[in-house]
Amino acid sequence: MFGETHGRAIFVDMATDPDQSMEVSPRRVLVVGLPETGKSSFIHALDEVLKHPVTPHDLRSYGLAPDRSYIQSGKPKFLAGQKLDRTDRQIEDTSVELLFEHPPTGQRGRLLLPDKKGEIFRDQWVDRQWRKDYRESLEGIAGVLVFVRADEKSRNDELLGTLAKEAGESNKEPRPWNLKDASGQVQLVDVLQFIVERGEVPQPLRIAVLISAWDTVGQAGDLRPRDPTKFLDREWALLAQYLRANPHFFNEKIFGVSAYGGPPGELGELFEQPPHERAQLTEGTETMRDLTRPLRWLLELE
């Protein structure tokens, strides 16, 4: 079911496991994000957290998938706390499969993650088209993980106030308009519009917004809200409004996530901790190590 036809998105598939007495109908989760929004880092951190559950009730790994060649290729850098190379768009098979179980319900599942670059979603915005098999794969998804970055601006800066006044006449030619240059939150909203208006997805659709690089929030002099929901309201306002204003389409929760626990390559004292202890997730005012929480909410496991 998750062969090449689904190779352009990231899915979670909870399937029946033959060894398990409790049967679970297959359910999938789509992962959406523009380029370099932390999707690959999250996958690596999730793999580590699944292998090292903190409490007996945490979602956990119950073994290794048959093919881990793609995730293994990025492992050395992630475990060393270094920035991952960008996902190679030319590689068709970037699938990552993680096996997990949920002790409280006894359910077991498969996490299948073809880790395509965020350009797939940017291409949808620019080309105003998507692959038929991608659209078909949306049918029956359980929810969506949407990635945005805390350390990236959500919209283009305007020449306003003194900037506009001081701007003089110049012979410099402005860059011609290109859809790729549109504000990030505008692109993301349109991609979500495509999904709920053109894809046959359940309504309301559960959406977990993951604000990556969350460790950059709340440092000295940073006035941005430390609650991820309030952060999204202020910093990614168009996206926040769009989700809130369409309760028939969406049921959303907002999380802050730091897959490394700090800036990759500059982890300092964090280097002393194993990677699964560096990763952090924030919901409301609570910060925890358990990166599986958004997935458990999407899959209605809690």
Partner 1 sequence: MPSCKLENCPVVKDGRCLEGRGADCPNLIPDSIASEPTRELLASADHIKPIQLTFEPLLGLAPLEVAEARNFARRGPCTVVALAGMPECGKTSLLARLHQLFQAGPVAGFDFAGSRSLPHFEELNWLATIESGVSKPTMKRSSTLFDNCFLHLAVRSIDSGTRTELLLNDITGETFEKAVASQSKCEELVALARADHLVILVDGAALASPILRYHHIEQASDFLQRVLGSGQCGAHTALQIVITKLDKLRGHEAVADKIEADFDARFRAAVGSLKFWRIAARPMDGSLPTSELIGEFFSYWARTTLRYPTPTLPNVRRDTWARDFCRYGN
Tokens of 252: 């959303």
Give the interface size with partner 1 as a residue count (CB under 8 A): 60
Among 251, 257, 256, 135, CA closest to 191: 135
* Cβ atoms of residues 180 and 8 within 8 Å: no
Greatest C-alpha distance within the chain? 74
143 Cβ contact list (under 8 Å, min separation 6): 29, 30, 205, 206, 207, 208, 298, 299
**Of all helices (H) and strands (E), which one includes residue 273?**
none
Interface with partner 1, residue 135, by CB under 8 A: yes
Is 188 or 208 the residue whose CB approaches partner 1 more closely? 188
**For 258, phi and psi rounded to 5 degrees?**
-130, 105
Interface with partner 1, residue 169, by CB under 8 A: yes
Among 236, 239, 210, CA closest to 225: 236
Is 165 or 268 the residue whose CB approaches partner 1 more closely? 165
Among 189, 259, 267, 281, binds partner 1 (CB under 8 A): 189
Is 8 or 206 the residue whose CB approaches partner 1 more closely? 8
Query: Which 227-246 residues touch partner 1, going by CB under 8 A?
Result: 233-234, 237-238, 241-242, 244-246
CB of 150 to partner 1, least distance (A): 17
Is 4 or 222 the residue whose CB approaches partner 1 more closely? 4
Tokens of 186: 């505008």
* Chain-centre distance for alpha carbon 172: 39
Is 145 or 239 the residue whose CB approaches partner 1 more closely? 239
Which chain residues interact with partner 1 by CB under 8 A?
4, 90-93, 124-133, 135, 154-165, 167-170, 172-179, 181-183, 185-186, 189-190, 193-194, 197-198, 233-234, 237-238, 241-242, 244-246
